A = this chain, B = another copy of it.
Amino acid sequence: MATLKHQLLLGTFIHSKTPQELEYRHDTAVAVSSQGKIAGIQQAGGNVDEARDTLLKELGWDPSDVDVIACKEGQFFFPGFIDTHIHAPQYPNAGIFGKATLLDWLERYTFPLESSLKDLAKARRVYTACVRRTLAHGTTTASYYATIDVPATNLLADICLGLGQRAFVGRVCMDNPDICPDYYRDESAQQSLQATRETIEHVRAIDPAFDLVSPILTPRFAPSCSREAMLDLAALQKEMDLLVQTHISENKGEVELVKSLFPEADSYADVYDRHGLLTDKTVLAHAVHLSEAEADTIAARGSKVSHCPCSNSSLTSGVARVRWLWDKGIDVGLGTDVSGGYSASILSAARQAALVSRHLAMGDDERSKLTPEEALHLATRGGARCLGLQHRVGAFEVGMDWDAQLVGLGGVDEEGGQDDDGNVDVFGWEDWEERVAKWVYTGDDRNTKKVWVKGRLVHSRA
């Protein structure tokens, strides 16, 4: 990776201040050090040149050593998106799920494709396409499930590092012969643990401080794991203080399956709790059908939830109750859940989060509706908290890394002509809140003009 120069970003910066509120900073200068960290933020009464000069002086940076990137009129910087749940090997199946629900979908679509990625040429092709595509969507951090295969999982870590995406990469643990197919299964709990250790050591070899790429312990979901495998991973979690990711309570059939497989447990959450996997470093995907008691336990343990609305609609799973989880004090982020989810875009996930929250409200819970501001919080700071990165990414604060996207919305000229290929049409009279709403509901990757991770430009489009 080439050494970076200091950078100075000029213009409008928007980020999540609270779950309900975005902060808009106009005519602002943000200094990013050659280490990719935000070194200073300066806003000087409506004058961006003054802000720039003040900041340069304050930092003692020589202007000739600084790259300057200025927003065009109407553009703004926004924190990079955080995808807290995505299956990279399933990327080629995005959009393909028929009328399936979770358990038949796994058997019919998912396990065959995942298994086939032991072919490393295929894995390279699929993983490269997936990482490039998610970067183009503004995803600066992704928490990936890979496959059970060690070399292919290691390759995913290499590709993330090479393309510059902040990533958690998890080798999937699945050793229960009653649930996992013969052709795609860890041989034993012991082999599962050993293979996982190998992927952790690979990541340590390529990124010793887990600075950009980190391992994450990944028991697929309770049904696919033996008790021993879960206990082993819990011990490893304590040993290495790593993050854990798994699925919980996505689908009613799955909840019943867990009940039958773990008759000793009080609930799905209790299965993980009994096996030491419900920690404050655990990210639980879906959490659609949780009981009050389960949510209380998850809150007490400090575990996090990855909300995957596209997937939950596609697979007819249900709707996670985000505000109810928030009320319990649980941190919530967004996941694309490719390919249960059809879209690799967290902007799409944010839009669908707002929409499915309205489907809850169609019942009787009017409060459940999420605003665009709340959906964007989930997409940035919420996700950062899920992954323990709340002090590094998800917002613009001094000391944080510059993980960001430059967003540009299209304008409509006086004759009704559109100046941008994307679908957002700004007529000019919209206030900033309305522009952001247009971005959330009608935007796509065409509006993400540039993407940086840790100060490095990792994607740009004309």
Chain A interface (Cβ < 8 Å from any Cβ of B): 91-92, 94-99, 121, 124-129, 132-133, 313-319, 342-345, 352, 355-356, 358-359, 361-362, 369, 371, 412-418, 421, 423-425, 427, 429-430, 434, 437-442, 444-446
Contact yes or no, A92 B425, CB < 8 A: yes
Contact yes or no, B124 A423, CB < 8 A: no
Contact yes or no, B415 A95, CB < 8 A: no
Q: Which of A355, A421, A438 has the most CB of B within 10 A?
A: A355
Identical copies of this chain, number: 2
Known contacts: A99-B371, A345-B423, A437-B95. The answer to whether A124 contacts B314 by CB under 8 A is no
Contact yes or no, B430 A96, CB < 8 A: yes
Q: Taking CB as reference atom, which chain B residue is nearest A416? A: B128
* A16 to B: closest C-beta gap in Å: 18
* A427 to B: closest C-beta gap in Å: 5
19 contacts between A and B (CB under 8 A): A92-B427, A94-B425, A94-B438, A95-B438, A96-B438, A98-B371, A124-B415, A124-B416, A125-B412, A125-B413, A125-B416, A129-B425, A129-B427, A313-B356, A314-B441, A316-B361, A316-B362, A342-B441, A423-B444
A343 partner residues in chain B, CB cutoff 8 A: 423, 441-442
A416 partner residues in chain B, CB cutoff 8 A: 124-129, 132
A413 partner residues in chain B, CB cutoff 8 A: 125
A425 partner residues in chain B, CB cutoff 8 A: 91-92, 94, 129, 133
* A62 to B: closest C-beta gap in Å: 38
Contact yes or no, B316 A358, CB < 8 A: yes
Partner of A318, one of B99, B362, B446: B362
* A411 to B: closest C-beta gap in Å: 10
3 nearest A-B residue pairs (beta carbon): A128-B416, A95-B441, A342-B441
